[in-house]
Chains A and B, each alone.
Chain A
């Protein structure tokens, strides 16, 4: 890829590396720089265009014919470079192929299905709080943000009990692999073989328990909606995107509520705010920070001319705090009207698992707020570094019962 597409088009060039450790440690000043430099910027470090304002991020997400996904939603251009694994049939696909696979996952994860799993998810959240109240002092990432989704999502998928320890490491590879060929990506891929083998095996029909999301995907083969070779790859999408994302989403919500005790108190006073508190955490922290698109033709975006075959990096997190779109964007406010945030994306690829994520977030925060009076951070939170995901590695807390 060359920088020629940017020459003379008046697009500001920046030397920001959005995949650098120092960027991850505190992305907010750089997000502001990216937003304020212009509606479209060019990042010389990786030879890509970038959009960080809400309007442009939203526009790119909603024009999939021009800004396609089939050439990869990471830095790597599948037209020029072999993908590290067989491409996703949904995330890395364009219409009409995407339309068909998307319909299958939408059906498997529909609001109707959420009504059926709701009680089970809520009981598991209560059980988690029982365990936390026994511990009193614990790591809110390992013992809460990871433990809760792990206690519910693999079962909902219908996975065997053995080998589940591969799930989070596999997802971490997937999300690192969207980034540039830096150490995070290279190392993740080098060490990925055992996780890939586990995942490939679990996606097979005979390894998925009846009634689970995985079996429901395979049942669509019998309906003629997808082929028997497509089904395992669609199960793989849920294994890739369904666990680590909610770990970071729930982790973000707990970190916010522990940092902002006034918001915690509001939630305790009105438990119906739990769903909003989770959604606002997804806006505020944006567990999925970025995705790329590739241009299918020359296009003008907010005055910038972008050539064909160029990578465009969308800063979802920066858009979610763009003052052009949000009042007091840096405030975590659980009563905010969050509709329209791009933490789950927007348009045809908008997260197909968003209802699962919200359900987990809502029932977990409800259970916490009903039975816990105070959450106190008792040690330095440690960050976990990933090219796409933002979240903590550990968050030591002590809780007081309500």
Chain B
């Protein structure tokens, strides 16, 4: 099972064991992780599952679709080149060890 590390704004981190086929957002909410709201439940409609991807991982993620790109313009915390919506990242075995930073706020 691939594991993902979330780094909170205060620097603390959480390691989350994931199940096959789920999205990063689903794994995070299933573990009760604070910092990911996911108000739309993963339908790419709310931009409250925003994460910053660790630079070293950015190129290894699947490319983003146009709707994700458009939604990221509306995130509550600033959009950066490393910004992604965690509900749009499906976990695959090669993402084991992925490191994601949580933004200051989601709304």
Inside 8 A of B71's CB, which chain A residues have their CB?
Answer: 110-111
Known contacts A114-B74, A337-B29; A106 and B45 CB within 8 A of each other: yes
What residue of chain B has the Cβ atom nearest to residue A341's Cβ?
B41
Using a Cβ–Cβ cut-off of 8 Å, how many residues does chain B contribute to the interface with A? Answer: 19
Most buried by B among A110, A339, A344, A346: A339
- In the complex, which residues of chain B have a beta carbon less than 8 angstroms from the beta carbon of A120? none
Q: Which of A305-351 contact B (CB under 8 A)?
A: 337, 339-341, 344, 346-347, 350
Instruction: Report the minimal beta-carbon distance from A320 to chain B, rounded to whole angstroms.
Output: 12
A115 touches B74 (CB 8 A): yes
Min CB distance B64 to A, Å, is 15
The answer to whether A106 and B67 have CB atoms under 8 Å apart is yes
Chain A nearest CB, measured from B57 CB (Å): 24
Q: Which residue of B lies closest to A115 (CB)?
A: B74
Question: Contacting A111 at CB < 8 Å: which of B32, B41, B43, B74?
Answer: B74
| A contacts with B, residue count (CB < 8 A) | 24
Report chain A residues within 8 Å CB of B41.
Answer: 339-341, 346, 350
**The one of B29, B45, B70, B75 that contacts A339, using a Cβ cutoff of 8 Å:** B29
Check: B102 CB closer than 8 A to any chain A CB.
no
B29 touches A275 (CB 8 A): no
Residues of A close to B63: CB separation below 8 A: none
Contact A110 B70 (CB under 8 A): yes
Q: Is the CB of B43 within 8 A of A350?
A: yes
Chain A 94-118: CB-based contact to B (< 8 A → 1; otherwise 0): 0000000001001100111111000
- Among the listed A106, A107, A110, A354, which residue makes an inter-chain contact with B39, where contact means beta carbons less than 8 Å apart? A354
Q: Report the minimum CB–CB distance from B9 to chain A (whole Å).
A: 15
**A111 and B75: CB pair below 8 A?**
yes
**A279 to B46 alpha-carbon distance, docked (Å):** 13
Per the 8 Å Cβ criterion, residues 65-80 of B in contact with A are 67, 70-71, 73-75
CB-nearest residue of chain B to A339: B38
Q: Which one of A111, A337, A341, A350 lies within 8 Å of B47 (CB-CB)?
A: A111
Contacts of A113 in B (CB 8 A): 74
Cβ B39 vs Cβ A339 within 8 A: yes
Q: Closest residue to A279 on the B side, CB-wise?
A: B39
Give complex CA distance A354, B32 in Å.
Answer: 23
B26 to chain A, nearest CB (A): 9
CB distance from B97 to the nearest CB of A (A): 25
Name the A residues within 8 Å of B1 (CB-CB). none
Flag whether A185 is at the interface (Cβ < 8 A): no
Distance between Cα atoms of A317 and B43 in the complex (Å): 19
Q: Does A299 lie at the interface of the complex (its beta carbon under 8 Å from any beta carbon of B)?
A: no
Looking across the interface, which residue of chain B has its beta carbon closest to that of A350? B43
When distances are taken between beta carbons in the complex, the residues of chain A under 8 Å from B32 are 337
Whether A111 touches B46, Cβ cut-off 8 Å, given contacts A106-B67, A275-B107, A354-B40, is yes
Residues of B close to A106: CB separation below 8 A: 45, 67, 70
A268: interface (CB < 8 Å):
no
- Indicate whether B37 reaches chain A with its CB closer than 8 angstroms: yes
A344–B39 Cα gap in the complex (Å)?
10
Q: Give the CA-CA distance A344 to B43 in the complex, in Å.
A: 11
> Residue A355 at the B interface, CB < 8 A?
yes
Contact A358 B43, beta carbon cutoff 8 Å: no
Complex Cα distance A347/B73, Å?
Answer: 22
With A279-B39, A339-B38: A354-B74 Cβ-Cβ less than 8 Å: no
A107 to B67, CA, bound (A): 9
Rounded to whole Å, the gap between the CB of A341 and the closest CB of chain B is 7
B46 touches A354 (CB 8 A): yes
Cα–Cα distance between A347 and B42 once the two chains are bound (Å): 9
- Cβ 8 A contact of A358, one of B39, B42, B70, B73: B39
Q: Which 7 A-B pairs have the closest CB atoms?
A: A111-B74, A112-B74, A339-B38, A340-B41, A111-B47, A350-B43, A112-B73
Binding site for A on B (CB under 8 A): 29, 32, 37-43, 45-47, 67, 70-71, 73-75, 107
Identify 7 residue pairs between A and B in the complex whose beta-carbon atoms are under 8 Å apart, listed by A's number.
A103-B67, A110-B73, A111-B71, A275-B107, A337-B32, A352-B45, A358-B39
Given A350-B43, A354-B45, 15 extra CB contacts under 8 A: A106-B70, A110-B70, A111-B73, A111-B74, A111-B75, A115-B74, A337-B32, A339-B37, A339-B39, A339-B41, A340-B38, A341-B41, A347-B43, A352-B45, A362-B107
